[in-house]
Amino acid sequence: MRQVVGKPSRESRGRARRAIGLTGIAALLPVVLAGCSLEEALHLGWPRTTPTDQSQMMMDLWIGAVAAALVVGIIVWGLTFWCVIAYRKRDPKLPSQERLGEEFLPPQTKYNLPAELTFTGLPFILIGVLFYFTVIVQDEVTHLSEEPNACVDVTAFKWNWQFTYKDVGCEPLETAEGGPVVETGDSDYIPVVVMPNEDDVRFVLTSEDVIHSFWVPDLLFKRDVFPGGEDHASQFEVDFNSEGAFVGRCAELCGAYHAFMNFELRVVSPDDYQTFLDERINGATTPEALEAIGQEPYAVTTNTFNTDPASGVAS
């Protein structure tokens, strides 16, 4: 009895459909199990708030790069699964390929110059495009203006933060009593640094002891903080585009209480910022000055922690 060999068996077709179905389920599982909404999924893990122009540019760059990678991945996966299905191993019950001749073998090509040029040239084009946009965003993120609209010195220490307010020329501000206008955190108090919703807001970073890292997750940016005084200070500027309260962290493992180095960045209107500075210059504390501009006096994005090892719980 002659067996038909030109058409895949029903069992083979069933296995192919099951493989495609399982692949689809596997692709959907990460989104379903993470409980992501469609909006969260489209942000690809990035924060949905972008309070600076620089963070918006970085998010756009990231989403563009991921989209390009997904397009390449879909093409590669598609060709791979097509080859798996089209040239899969035949039913062992069928006669061997030796007996059937060459009818099951795909065309064998040793050299294909157009294909080789395409598969070599396209990756270089993709790399060039990504490099171009990366340089543009990086230049904007690291740009420093000649005269910032606001300036603050950030001093990291074991294990907290101190913020020293300066004027538009980055010269120190002084209180009515003659001391600097500072905000210092401790284990019982989360420091709140207040900045205006303006362009060209500068942060100057130094450390008193070891390497720390200044990180506000919503800014999509962090900068290491090095000891050594002004000679080793690093600085950056951001252009704020919205008001709000944003949690800050230390992103460099710096010692036993590294995880407790929290602060809060409070972005307010330019008028409220000037009122806040005037209150601080006249001797008000940060909570008192925040209340004077209608803001919550204490941090709302993070808590202090009980640093007593015997307690084991947050305060």
pLDDT tens per residue across all 315 residues of the chain: 444 445 555 666 666 677 677 776 766 666 565 556 666 666 666 777 789 999 999 989 988 898 889 898 998 899 888 888 877 665 555 555 444 454 555 666 677 788 888 888 888 998 999 999 999 999 999 999 988 999 999 999 999 999 999 988 788 888 888 889 999 999 889 999 999 999 999 999 999 999 999 999 999 889 999 998 888 899 999 999 999 999 999 999 998 889 889 999 999 999 999 999 999 999 999 999 999 999 999 999 988 776 566 655 444
Positive or negative, the Cα torsion across 306, 311, 312, 315?
Answer: negative
Closest by CA position to 54, among listed 240, 275, 223: 240
Boundary (domain end) residue, out of 142, 163, 196: 142
Closest by CA position to 148, among listed 173, 175, 170: 170
Residues 168, 192: one domain? yes
Residues 30, 164: one domain? no
Residues contacting residue 92 through CB under 8 Å, at least 6 positions apart: none
Assigned domain for 248 exists: yes
pTM: 0.76
CATH number of 238's domain: 2.60.40.420
Residues 285, 179: one domain? yes
Show the domain range for 18. Answer: 10-142
Number of domains in the chain: 2
Assigned domain for 187 exists: yes
Q: CA triplet 160, 186, 213: central angle to 5 degrees? A: 10
Rounded to whole angstroms, what are the CA distances from 118 to 34, 113, 219? 38, 8, 39
Residues 137, 191: one domain? no
Assigned domain for 283 exists: yes
